[in-house]
Amino acid sequence: MVQGTENVELTPGYMTLTDAHGRKTQYPVTDILRAADIPVGLTYTQVPDITKLANLVVVLIRTLIAQGIIDDSFMEEGEYDLSLITDVVETMGGSFTDPVLSPA
């Protein structure tokens, strides 16, 4: 915290600093952040652990199917099926046919 600052409050668009005497000074965040500082969006290629998590889910699902605990439909009413789960995993960068859990 900035020396002499007793409290920092974040509100939409502003950062407010309160000093030891209770005086508050409000600073607009737009003066602090640049557009380049704010990520537009993350993809699985930017966060490799998302791919590993997707592959871990694949291993879990395949193990549960092999053990006869679940079948190709999921949820109580069969709202999801294996093809939908496969699509979701592959969108996250995983592979239902060849999941890799080892470090890159």
For the question of whether the overall pTM of this predicted structure is more than 0.75, the answer is no
Using alpha carbons, select from 63, 55, 43, 41 the residue that is nearest to residue 103. 55
Give the model's pLDDT for residue 30.
79
Interval 76-92: pLDDT, tens: 676 778 888 888 888 88
What DSSP element (H or E) covers 79? Answer: none
Sequence ranges of the domains in the chain = 5-37, 40-104
pLDDT at residue 2 above 70?
Answer: no
Of residues 69 and 31, more confidence is placed in 69
Q: Which two tokens stand for residue 56?
A: 């871990």
Tokens of 39: 């990520």
Query: What pLDDT, on the 0 to 100 scale, is given for residue 38?
Result: 66
pLDDT of residue 76: 66
Give the residue-averaged pLDDT of 58-79: 81
